[in-house]
């Protein structure tokens, strides 16, 4: 018999966060989170997303053993302002037992029906800055700190309970050697002359911060038309600045401004922390911080986290300015491989953006939905 218990206390929330450490203990591909960081993201007093979202965290027990978990989420901006009647769910992990996954999904559905929502979709996070999608291809590749990993049997559980594909995402990679510096330098100079734009680079994190708010505003403008997009609020900007910007090499953040110094494009790239996080095994101390700092300085793989372009400048080649700057930086750093975050299959513009790098899809993931009415 499966018992579902809501994780409310700090002790239970820690069990919620650490359950995957048991589920994936033998996997060479799973990348563990930092436990305290994950706990902080679920703390209503620390994460400002809870000003616009409600969340319930559930653990599934078989006897006294934890065998699954799920977070049920309602984003009120999405539901009340955007009129998207969605019950979100994420952080969905379980043993290969339909009774376990079914009991967890039933709990999410129950909350969705109580709030008169039309359908449930997952796995997704609180917003677009969170992880998304269940892995459907690429199980033999190491994960990243910004994606979920899962066992291959997860997909069959969604299908068993009548869920259908809602969105599909692809993850691409390419060797840095694929980048043609001559092509991008020519395009870079052409765009600069034609539109009067210029690149801004940084070497210190404190110098990036004054531009960060404008960057998040531009992020909202750039991605507003994508399906399931939920904008970042002003209070979330401060949270994300502390959580992400300080973690990224300042020279991996690129800005492009127009002749009036208005921000029109940005790029954020992260060093790969995957192997460092595996060595840290959920803890910063005593040695986890050492592995992360070493990866920040020495990792030869990078992840293109975000690229945003002002709608007025889209399709005008402004990204060539960003790529030209990254080529200079990566050449000095000896970068070998570039990876991209999950991108929607219907985002044609993003595929066009990367075509010159000859990227290869190495992972796919999906979100699944089921009607509640």
Judge whether 373 lies within some domain: no
Note whether 105 and 94 are within 8 A (CB). no
Indicate yes or no: pTM above 0.85: yes
Q: What does pLDDT average to over the chain? A: 94
* The pLDDT of residue 78: 94
224 φ/ψ angles, rounded to the nearest 5 degrees = -60, -30
| pLDDT, tens digit, 9 for 90 and up, residues 232-245 | 888 888 888 887 78
High-pLDDT (> 90) share of the chain, %: 83
The SS3 call for residue 278 is helix
Q: Does one domain contain both 165 and 182?
A: no
Judge whether 299 lies within some domain: yes
| pLDDT, tens digit, 9 for 90 and up, residues 105-121 | 999 999 999 999 999 99
Judge whether 370 lies within some domain: no
Sign of CA dihedral 14, 48, 32, 332: negative
Judge whether 239 lies within some domain: yes
- State the pLDDT confidence band at 134, using cuts at 50, 70 and 90: very high
Give the number of domains in the chain: 2
| pLDDT, tens digit, 9 for 90 and up, residues 181-214 | 888 899 999 999 999 999 999 999 889 988 888 9
Q: Average of pLDDT values for 326-345?
A: 95
Residue 227 has pLDDT above 70, yes or no: no
Q: Across the strands, what pairs with 170? A: 343, 364
* CATH value at residue 313: 3.40.630.30
* The pLDDT of residue 266: 96
Judge whether 372 lies within some domain: no
Q: Does one domain contain both 91 and 213?
A: no
Question: In whole angstroms, what is the distance from residue 39 CA to residue 13 CA?
Answer: 7
Q: Which of 52-66, 147-161, 239-253, 297-311 has the lowest mean pLDDT?
A: 239-253
| pLDDT, tens digit, 9 for 90 and up, residues 251-267 | 999 999 999 999 999 99
Q: Does one domain contain both 187 and 335?
A: yes
Residue 305 has pLDDT above 70, yes or no: yes
Residue 102 has pLDDT above 90, yes or no: yes
Look up the domain containing 305 and give its range. Answer: 174-363
């Amino acid at each position: 018999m499966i018992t579902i218990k809501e994780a409310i206390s700090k002790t239970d929330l820690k069990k919620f966060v650490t359950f995957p450490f048991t589920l994936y203990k033998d996997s060479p591909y799973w990348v563990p989170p930092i436990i305290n960081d994950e706990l902080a993201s679920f703390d209503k007093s620390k994460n400002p997303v809870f000003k616009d979202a409600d969340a319930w965290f559930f653990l599934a027990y078989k006897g006294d053993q934890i065998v699954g978990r799920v977070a049920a989420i309602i984003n009120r901006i999405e539901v009340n302002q955007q009129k998207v009647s969605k019950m979100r769910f994420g952080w969905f992990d379980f043993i290969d037992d339909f009774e376990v996954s079914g009991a967890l999904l039933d709990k999410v559905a129950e909350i969705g029906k109580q709030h008169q929502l039309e359908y449930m979709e997952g796995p997704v996070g609180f917003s677009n800055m969170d992880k998304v999608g269940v892995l459907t291809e690429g199980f033999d590749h190491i994960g990243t700190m910004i994606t979920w990993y899962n066992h291959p049997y997860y997909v069959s559980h969604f299908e068993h309970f009548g869920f259908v594909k809602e969105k599909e995402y692809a993850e691409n990679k390419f060797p840095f050697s694929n980048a043609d510096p001559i092509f991008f330098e020519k395009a870079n100079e052409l765009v600069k002359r034609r539109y009067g734009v210029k690149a801004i680079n940084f070497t210190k994190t404190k110098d990036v911060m004054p531009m960060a708010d404008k960057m998040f505003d531009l992020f909202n403008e750039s991605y507003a038309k994508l399906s399931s997009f939920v904008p970042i609020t002003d209070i979330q900007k401060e949270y994300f600045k502390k959580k992400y910007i300080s973690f990224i090499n300042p020279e991996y953040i690129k800005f492009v401004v127009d002749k009036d110094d208005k921000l029109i494009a940005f790029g954020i790239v992260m060093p790969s922390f995957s192997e460092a996080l595996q060595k840290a095994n959920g803890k910063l101390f005593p040695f986890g911080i050492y592995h992360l700092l070493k990866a920040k300085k020495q990792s030869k793989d990078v992840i293109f986290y975000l690229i945003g372009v002002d709608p007025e400048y889209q399709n005008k080649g402004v990204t060539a300015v960003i790529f030209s700057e990254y080529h200079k930086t990566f050449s000095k750093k000896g970068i070998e491989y570039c990876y991209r975050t999950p991108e929607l299959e219907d985002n044609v513009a993003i595929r066009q953006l990367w075509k010159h790098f000859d990227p290869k899809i190495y992972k796919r993931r999906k979100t699944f939905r089921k009607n509640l009415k």
